[in-house]
Structure 1
Amino acid sequence: MKSQSTKLLVIGGGPGGYVAAIRAGQLGIPTVLVEGEMLGGTCLNIGCIPSKALIHAADEFEKARLYANGSPLGIRVKAPEIDLPQTVRWKDGIVGKLTGGVATLLKKNGVQVVRGWATLVDGKTVDVQPAQGEALRLQCEHLLLATGSVPVELPSMPFGGGVISSTEALAPADLPKRMVVVGAGYIGLELGIAYRKLGAEVAVVEATNRVLPSYDDELTRPVLATLKRLGVVLHLSCSVQGLTDNGAAVRVRSANADEFALPADRVLVAVGRKPRTEGFGLESLHLDMAGRSIKIDEQCRTSMRNVWAIGDVTGEPMLAHRAMAQGELVAEVIAGHKRRFAPAAIPAICFTDPEVVVVGLSPQEAGQGGLDCITAAFPFAANGRAMSIESTEGFVRVVARRDNHLIVGWQAVGRGVAELSAAFSQSMEMGARLEDVAATIHAHPTLGEAVQETALRALGQALHI
């Protein structure tokens, strides 16, 4: 077995791992990155990016179909069709450009990429088995674990055949006539809505009594309206029991113990993700764990000296942008910078129809935390830009302390509100108060004006409502 040494060894080439490696390279730290599958990890290859591409294609197709039935804009088209294999090729082209860009950036910054599967020997030694060729032993001063997460599998309905995870849902060879989605969280609803817009009949089974159960009723109400408009059938407070004997339907049990079958050509199981902690010898390090995830401190250090962990393998929130921020931090701490991971807030976005954004505390969370807060919302129905793009559903909401008007949370639901998340996060990182946002001139006409109007309304000074 050949051997090699480096200062920093990164296991996993997803958003956290590749950002850590690039930043380490910029800082002059000799770095090796090991990746067993594809650079970019889940996010670039089978998650964030391809799902948003598929969602965009579905939105455009639905828009074309609506125009075929006439439009108040005066647009008329013939009955549209979709070439699904071409859609997948287009999506794959975007993924290819991004992953190729990651490879180029790693090379540019002097990071050595080793393609193969890692096995931990100890906190400073890793064996890598490439798909072809001789195994390699890597020794390091610092070991960074960025192994990500994997979809949760249901014991009653393991993946295989017509039972798929989000991975397979993002590369369909054809469109199922009937799809059952298990789980009404953000992954299930994002893909369920996309498949419905592409033409599939979609039914969603959810164990709780509401969709997007981690969000409050006000935020999910516009999403529920879209599901109803599209004809997505919801089975709430229900649990799946497995497939029928012939595999053509899903057995579902309701809250009152009644059982029924939902016909399905394909079943998407989207009940969450879990840290990837198995299959690479993690147990040999005997690290402190927090449930199924690796326990870390505010500098992403594990319980073993010079062994670090970032991203999904460290638990919630499992978000690519959290992993990227942690990766940058670890590289800088290794380089001797004084850093700690203590963001004021981490934005979370559901790319449903309409989109949902949450940053910081909701009104309910603020109350539960003992904070006396002002809450105010401004509807997009009163926003000129929203009217001009035919998207007046939804609102922006702010949560601020009553005593000093410090903003502790933002929420929004509506078309395109994902792009407001940067303003929300920045205001909280800078410790903005309602007066700061209210006094900032926002360009007209934009959806961002609703942010200013929300702050004005919280101060009792709203102008356009």
Structure 2
Amino acid sequence: MSNDNNLHIAVIGSGGAAMAAALKAVERGAHITLIERGTIGGTCVNIGCVPSKIMIRAAHIAHLRKESPFDVGVSAQPPIVDRAKLVQQQQARVEELRNNKYENILRDHTAITVLKGEARLVDAHNLTVRLNDGGEQTVHFDRAFIGTGARPAEPPIPGLADTPYLTSTSALTLDIIPERLIVIGAGFVALELVQAFARLGSKVTVLARSRLLSKEDPAIGEAVETAFRREGIEVLRQTQASRVDYADNEFIMDTNAGTLRADQLLVATGRTPNTEALNLEGIGVETSNGAIQVDEQLQTTVPGVYAAGDCTDQPQFVYVAAAGGSRAAVNMTGGKATLDLSVMPGVMFTDPQVATVGLTEAEALKQGFNVDTRVLELENVPRALINFDTHGFIKMVAERDSGRLLGVQAITAEADELIQTAVMALRARMTVEDIGNELFPYLTMVEGLKLCAQTFTKDVKQLSCCAG
């Protein structure tokens, strides 16, 4: 705990990283001036995790009403989708969460002063704020924290900038369901929206520069592609746009796969850090393609100036941002904390979900491990069987000699819940034998981890239902 009750910290931003940094620093005795140029709350609650998961859930319900594994005994019919009403419901929940988790907390905190405006660093102890209501204010600080996040990137496709294309931000509040939708991008954000729009009624074509989820184990991308094709989603691999035009309310796209036409175009090819207005180069903060470089203490190349979240070179997950902000606050107030990203889960909320943690087989081999791997098809998981949904698999990567778990990749229903057990097993340096001997509740998807671990030493097809 810091004893310096006069420590003044400038926090730039108000999203996951910035809020975590501000609240932890206050807890440790500091006073905060928080500067936000736009909407309080950052990406996650306003234009990211929260609205996207609401949309995905609504699309999942729509899909089940049209088609489910139990249609033999439960009547099904295509639902009528009122997208405008869904958006109203979604945004009401967004506003409620922003109010409860961000605005009210800041409003009631006597140790935090909020300035609405754009910050520009002058040196390592001063910044100016161009206030949204007019005028300018100078802030002197002992430490600074940058948590300005990122925004959707615009790829350099000729003609694109002159068209009214959608980003992940604008797509989430689009109040119609386009009849034909083209999506450029093949990462988590793109593919979640691809399936959501398809399930709500769009005919979707997705363009992948190489393949779906090119950074993951190849089998994961193949399984997602298979799932998409089952639902009528067109997947074009090794496909790039050379030009985009917009005429008569229609997008016309030239690609190496031919000319494509659609009512809407969604571009989700990555994100760009919001750092260009901060004068980082002017005060000596090093960046790479706009992303702030930080050390394991979350400090930039300028002593006393810290950063975390999507504006840095860290993985772009809100839980990484919040953890980074919190640890930066400890370090800014005299403590010593590091952000360990060696066991970091990632989840894509498609159906089936994709969840990963630790090393893929390729990464483990590249790092010099002698590896042993197993893939468990979901037809061997009782929960999947009783759900009548056995599409997908669980893969475990282990060190051959010791049996220590190195990584897990899963494409299953509820993979988002399953993966945290794998996180804890990796953190505890458990072996696949340890995992195979643990008690797992029966008829859960997470039991698949136990069964996959057991396949290193036995044929799980020969086990009784809940054999230990």
Deviations 1:89-146, CA, capped at 9 Å, x for gaps: 1111221122112223345554332222212222221222332254322111010111
Question: 2:458 and 2:304 mapped to 1: Cα distance?
Answer: 52
Tell me what 1:21 maps to: 22
SS of corresponding position for 2:409 = strand
Cα 1:461/1:260, change in 2 over 3 Å: closer
Q: Partner of 1:243: helix, strand, or coil?
A: strand
TM-score by length of 2: 0.91
Query: Can you list the C-alpha shifts for 1:5-32, whole angstroms capped at 9, x where unaligned?
Result: 9611111111111111111122222122
Secondary structure at 2:103 match in 1: helix
Kindly provide the CA deviation profile for residues 411-440 of structure 1, in whole angstroms up to 9, marking residues without a partner as x: 100111011222122222222222332222
Aligned to 1:130: 131
Structure 2 CA distance for partners of 1:189 and 1:458, relative to 1, 3 Å: same
Partner secondary structure for residue 408 of structure 2: strand
Kindly provide the CA deviation profile for residues 308-350 of structure 1, in whole angstroms up to 9, marking residues without a partner as x: 1111111242111111111111111223222112233211112
Q: How do residues 126-165 of structure 1 correspond to structure 2 at under 5 angstroms?
A: 126-155=127-156, 156-159=158-161, 161-165=163-167
| Contact 2:128–2:137 under 8 Å retained in 1 | yes
Instruction: State, as a whole percentage, how many aligned pairs show the same letter.
Output: 29
Unaligned runs of 5+ in 1: none
Cα distance change on mapping 1:159 and 1:190 into 2, 3 Å: farther
Say if 1:157 and 1:163, in contact at 8 Å, map to a contact too.
Answer: no
Distance 2:387 2:108 in 1: 42
Conserved? CA contact 2:67–2:76, under 8 Å = no
User: Which residue of structure 2 aligns with residue 105 of structure 1?
Assistant: 105
Residue in structure 1 matched with residue 3 of structure 2 by the alignment: none
Residue matched to 1:391: 389
SS in 2 for 1:311: coil
- Map 1:351-362 → 2, pairs under 5 A: 351-362=349-360
1:443 corresponds to which letter in structure 2?
P
Distance change (3 Å), C-alpha of 1:244 and 1:31: closer
Q: Distance in 2 between matches of 1:154 and 1:217?
A: 24
Assess if the C-alpha contact under 8 Å between 1:249 and 1:261 holds in 2.
no
The equivalent of 1:287 in structure 2 is 285
Letter paired with 1:280: L
Partner of 1:326: 324
> 1:80 is matched with which residue?
79
In structure 1, give the amino acid aligned to 2:45.
L
Output the CA distance in 1 between the equivalents of 2:213 and 2:240.
Answer: 16
Secondary structure, in 3 states, of the residue corresponding to 1:238?
Answer: coil
SS of equivalent residue, structure 1 residue 249 = strand
- Amino acid paired to 2:96: K
SS of the counterpart of 2:148? coil
Structure 2 residue aligned with 1:186: 188
Which has the larger displacement, 283-292 or 20-29? 283-292
SS at match of 2:216: coil
Q: 1:105 to 1:455 in 2, by over 3 A?
A: farther
Residues 177-256 of structure 1 mapped to structure 2, 5 A cutoff: 177-208=179-210, 210-244=211-245, 246=247, 248-254=250-256
From 393, 397, 400, give the equivalent of 2:398: 400
Instruction: Return closer, same or farther for 1:457/1:252 CA change in 2, 3 Å cut-off.
Output: same
Q: Distance in 2 between matches of 1:171 and 1:249?
A: 20
Instruction: Tell me the alpha carbon deviations over residues 204-237 of structure 1, each in whole angstroms, 9 at most, x when there is no partner.
Output: 12221x2111122221232112211111112221
Query: Of 248, 264, 267, which aligns to 2:265?
Result: 267
Question: How many angstroms apart in 1 are the aligned matches of 2:173 and 2:8?
Answer: 38
**Distance (whole Å) between structure 1 residues aligned to residue 11 and residue 188 of structure 2:** 29
